[in-house]
Amino acid sequence: MTSEERFGVTEDGFVVKGIDRIIADQQDRARAMFGDDVDLTSGSALRKVLDAAAVDTHELWRALESQYYGNFVSTAQGPSLDLLGRDLGLRRRELRAHGPVALTLADAVPDRDYVLPQGTVLVTPPSPGVPSPAFRCTGAVTLTEERTSATVEAEAVARGAAGNVRLGTELTLDPAWARHNLDLGAAPLKAVVARDFQGGDLGEPDAVYRARLLGVPRTVWTQEALLAQVLDVNGVRDAVVFDPLGGVEATRRTFGTFRFGSRGFSRARQTGSPYFFDIVVAPEPGWPWTDGEATFPGLYGQVLDVVRQWRPVSVFPALLAANQVDVGIRATLVIEAGHDEEAVKGAILDAVRASVDRLRLGRGVLYSDIVLSARTAAGVADVQNLRLRRFAPVFGQTHYGGATYGGARELSVGENLDLAPDEIARFSVDTSMADLRTVVA
């Protein structure tokens, strides 16, 4: 071994001694003990014993490497990462159970579409003394008199094994949620679990858990510390803290009208006097904002309970729900011959929905991102005359500031859809919003 070769803990991390180096060292010790003429050929008994011992020694080195890197959040895995998370007070979360649900509509009225939006809440029949698990549809479904049945993926509202319902379990629409969000008239909806739900007994992957641990603030009070706690609430898609003294306050009508050269932005706060800030929360699709809108608690109360524990003394936040902006597209698709046009349309809509769902509060929809998402679908030769559409928000989903009631707006080719700081994009596959025409190449 040269003077430059170092194994174990070094300045560059933990260096494992390779199996070839271990074998060479063992042979050197064997010659020193038994003489230079000792038989170390591949067929000798001593060589076989040394090779077997070298394998065990190499496994020991690998175990030492794993133990060393298990001391750091950025490199720990499995149980080692769980132990570090407990030290930080953040345990690994369980996943939400998921699976398909078969929906059947009866007594449908002719010439009427029954739209079940993404986030539609289904619950198991109530049992005395037993809480009913709730489930949310992850996609939208449109039922008609001609198409009375469909299958949609659903996931449990609460994390854990309680959501692993069995095949054939009957579900019903959450009456409280349906009263606030649906109007099916006299048409009853039947829902049955089409396959055993899975995943509720599993923990989140190491990569996701590690990202949460690396984002844990190390200070008692900062905007980042509060935001991390809010984002961890079940049902929160995104959140932003608006501090009137330290940042943008979206709720002030006068914001953007100040003459910075002639007057101050705000008056100085006296020591000991309270000041206020806003927390804008974007719920996941279909998630209730206040209690009473569904069988499970709304986000407002859950977020408020978290903020009460993390707010500074004499600082009182205002919790506001983000404005949901429905986004649509219109385009002409050039499809290669031999491909199913409807299948290509469905793949493009799924890709666009996934791209929009990844956007955060205030992030606009980029024209280039939508074109790229559409071209990733198999069979698409070109995307022409793509236009983004912005639709007026649903009245019940608009909460404050900047909301526009009225008709839809279609942008020019190549124009991006900009959003206000309190708005978040949501893509719908409703035919009035997604108008895709096809041309065979």
Say if CB 323 and CB 397 are below 8 A apart: yes
Q: Tell me the torsion sign for CA atoms 41, 46, 48, 52.
A: negative
Say if CB 389 and CB 327 are below 8 A apart: yes
Type and span of the H or E element at 319: strand 315-321
pLDDT confidence of residue 265 = 46
> How far is the C-alpha of 398 from the C-alpha of 326, rounded, in Å?
11
Which pLDDT tens digits describe the chain residue by residue (441 residues)?
Answer: 444 678 888 887 888 888 888 888 888 888 888 888 888 888 888 888 888 888 888 889 988 888 888 888 888 989 999 999 988 888 899 999 999 999 999 988 888 888 888 889 999 987 766 677 899 998 888 899 899 999 999 999 999 998 999 999 999 999 889 888 888 888 899 999 999 999 999 999 999 999 888 877 766 667 778 888 898 899 999 998 876 555 444 444 454 555 545 544 445 545 445 556 788 999 998 889 988 888 888 999 999 888 888 776 666 778 888 888 888 888 998 888 888 888 888 888 888 888 898 899 989 999 999 999 888 888 888 888 899 988 765 544 444 444 444 446 788 888 999 988 888 998 865 546 678 888 887
Say if CB 321 and CB 230 are below 8 A apart: no
Cβ-Cβ contacts under 8 Å for 88 (sequence gap 6 or more): 73, 213, 216
Q: Please state which of the four CATH numbers 3.90.226, 2.40.30, 3.30.70, 2.60.120 is assigned to the domain occupying 98-193.
A: 2.40.30
Give the relative orientation of helices 19-34 and 45-69 as an angle to the nearest 10 degrees. 130
Q: What DSSP assignment string belongs to 381-441? A: EEEEEEEEEEEPPPGGG--SSS---S--EEPPTT--B---TTEEEEE---TTTEEEEEEE-
Q: Where are the domains of the chain?
A: 8-69, 98-193, 217-253+275-321, 323-440
> How far is the C-alpha of 335 from the C-alpha of 402, rounded, in Å?
39
Instruction: Give per-residue pLDDT as tens, 254-299.
Output: 545 555 455 444 455 454 455 567 889 999 988 899 888 888 889 9
pTM for the whole structure: 0.71
> How far is the C-alpha of 372 from the C-alpha of 355, rounded, in Å?
10
Fold designation for 217-253+275-321: GMP Synthetase; Chain A, domain 3 (3.30.300)
Q: What amino acid occupies position 226?
A: L
Instruction: Give per-residue pLDDT as tens, 95-141.
Output: 999 999 999 999 888 888 888 888 899 999 877 666 778 999 988 88
> How far is the C-alpha of 85 from the C-alpha of 305, rounded, in Å?
22
pLDDT confidence of residue 393 = 54
Q: What amino acid occupies position 64?
A: L
